Amino acid sequence: MNDIILLLSRATKCGRFLMPKVNPGGHFHGTWNVSKRLLSSFRELKQLSLPQVQVPEPEPETFKGLETDFPCLAKNPSTGPEPVYSRVISGYNTYTCNEPFYFKHHDGVIPELNIAYETWGELNEDKSNAVLIHAGLSASSHARSHLENPEAGWWEKFVGPGCAVDTSKFFVVCTNTLSGCYGTSGPSSINPLTEKPYATTFPVTTVEDMVHAQFLLLNHLGINKLYASVGSSLGGMCSLMSTVLCPDRVGRMISISSCAQTHPSAIAMRYLQRKCIMTDPYWNKGHYYGRPYPKMGMKLAREIATLSYRSGPEWDDRFGRKQIDPHQHPSLCPTFLIENYLDYQGESFSLKFDPNSLLYISKAMDLYDVAESFPDIHTALRQVKCPVMVIGVKTDILFPICQQRELARLLSEAGNDAVTFYELNSIYGHDTFLLDLNGVGAAVKGFLETELSENGRARKRKDITF
């Protein structure tokens, strides 16, 4: 047998057997004998019984992947019923200015202006005890509950008898911000000339426009000078802008978790939120009223915003790496509690606020620069003559603490001797102004009720480093 194999190997060249060669005369020579021996060897091979090698059948390809049915997407439809904003909040008053209201940019003008507002406490005889609370981006005029609307307000624990803003001492006013959707003129309001919602034909809005609208309301209420202007976040921007634009009409000012100029990181964060809404196929260039609603874009925008409202230390303390169901195999749907929380925040907010209002107000915050109408920021802040309190939070991502330090320093450099600065070490980030009653509430109450001189402290302060 081995001889046969050896013969075959020698007789094979490049997979071919050597065949007899023929010379020009027609005679065979050379390899003929080898070929004869090969044929004889093949006959022998056919008679042999060779051991067979068992070649395994190829196994089927091994693969097991995820199911492509994602219940986390099915439970959040891409569109939904259009919110009825008048039902979100009720019990507010409405001031209607029947004169055209002019905006700062693009020669914008609307034929009339509506301002939703609520009040608490009693205005004294000389109308000197009014405190104006400026709402944040998504807040309404409902800062505190009252008989007309017993639902808890967005600053419920901070406003009321004996509270930080004491309604037994002060007449408190809170408005819904211009471009909002809770009663004040905005994109979802009806244009009286067309009898259709303004949508994105509503003029681009600035913080200056918001302040001008608020002071029209104060004129209507007969309030010539505020005892105090108080605001957080966007409200802090409005509070400072009020004092810069109308210095003779503000007695003292509080700015919480805000700034003099918008930080680029905040602009980037809000840009992504707007992009989520504007790329939603149902946004329809802002003309979605009475049509499918851009719910998914709004939901994603709020989830992004929530990242900037709280802080890493709180996430770690509150959620850590805890899973929704530790016994469930992971999938591409939410696995961790923090994901579930963001999903809940986006879902619950997506039908409570008008997407166009979010676009307009967030853009106003990005455009905000208290010095825009002045040669420089020092000139702008020199307009502020009244006592000022600036509060910042170390864990604030949206308005970094450096911005409040800078604002306090610039006000002092501008010649204001009545600047008080508080730096809070709260884990709640930007939302501290809504949650920290001890830190924020105590500071606000102390500042409002402490006797201060009109243009500074009762005793001039020494140099302070912020």
Of 228-242, 365-379, 452-466, which range is least confident?
Answer: 452-466
DSSP 8-state class, residue 9: H
3-class DSSP state of 435: helix
Residue-level pLDDT at 62: 80
pLDDT at 139 over 60: yes
- Distance CA(334)–CA(323), nearest Å, equals 9
Burial class (CB in 10 A: 0-12, 13-18, 19+), 197: buried
With beta carbons less than 8 A apart as the criterion, state whether 360 and 205 touch: yes
- pLDDT level of residue 461 (50, 70, 90 thresholds): very low
Query: pLDDT band at 244, cuts 50/70/90?
Result: very high
pLDDT > 90? residue 301: yes
pLDDT tier for residue 86 given thresholds of 50, 70 and 90: very low
Of 214 and 458, the structure prediction assigns the larger pLDDT to 214
DSSP state of 134: E
CB atoms within 10 A of CB 290: 9
CA 410 to chain centre: 28
HSE-CB at 175 with a 13 A cutoff on CA atoms is: 30
pLDDT for position 274: 98
Note the pLDDT of residue 44: 57
* Averaged pLDDT, 207-226: 98
Residue 277: what pLDDT?
Answer: 98
Query: Of the ranges 95-99, 224-228, 347-351, which one carries the lowest mean pLDDT score?
Result: 347-351
pLDDT per residue as tens digits for the range 9-43: 554 444 444 444 445 554 444 444 545 554 455 45
Catalytically active residues, by annotation:
233, 396, 430
Q: How confident is the model at residue 75 (pLDDT cuts 50, 70, 90)?
A: low
Pairwise CA distance, residues 440 & 436, whole Å: 6
Instruction: Output the average pLDDT for the chain.
Output: 86
Scan for tokens 């825009």, then name that residue: 372
86 vs 26: CA distance, rounded Å: 111
Cβ contacts of 104 within 8 Å, gap of 6 or more = 206, 208, 209
Instruction: Kindly state the tokens that stand for 175.
Output: 């408005």
Give the distance between the most distant pair of CA atoms in the chain. 140
Average pLDDT, integer, range 378-393? 97
Instruction: Identify which has the larger pLDDT, 152 or 113.
Output: 113
Instruction: Tell me what pLDDT residue 71 has.
Output: 72
Note the pTM of the prediction, 2 decimals: 0.82
Rounded mean pLDDT, 427-445? 94
Q: How confident is the model at residue 247 (pLDDT cuts 50, 70, 90)?
A: very high
Q: Residue 61: pLDDT above 90?
A: no
For residue 63, the model assigns a pLDDT of 75
Quick one: pLDDT at residue 38?
Answer: 47
Confidence of residue 238 (pLDDT cuts 50, 70, 90): very high
Confidence of residue 462 (pLDDT cuts 50, 70, 90): very low
| pLDDT band for position 3 (cuts 50, 70, 90) | low
Mean pLDDT to the nearest integer, 71-81: 59
Q: What percent of the chain has pLDDT over 90?
A: 74
Report the distance separating Cα 63 and Cα 8, nearest Å. 44
Placement of tokens 């000012």 in the chain = 253
Q: Which residue has the higher pLDDT, 409 or 457?
A: 409
- Confidence at residue 459, expressed as pLDDT on a 0 to 100 scale: 41
174: confidence class by pLDDT, cuts 50, 70, 90: very high
460, pLDDT greater than 60: no
Q: Other CB atoms closer than 10 Å to residue 9's CB: what's the count?
A: 8
Distance (Å, whole) CA 252 – CA 250: 6
- Any residues with CB less than 8 A from the CB of 354 and at least 6 apart, and which? 83, 85, 181, 186, 187, 188
Report the pLDDT averaged over residues 155-175: 97
CA count, 13 A, side-chain hemisphere, 388: 31
Give bridge partners of residue 101 from the DSSP assignment. 110
- How far from chain centre, in Å, is Cα 319? 20
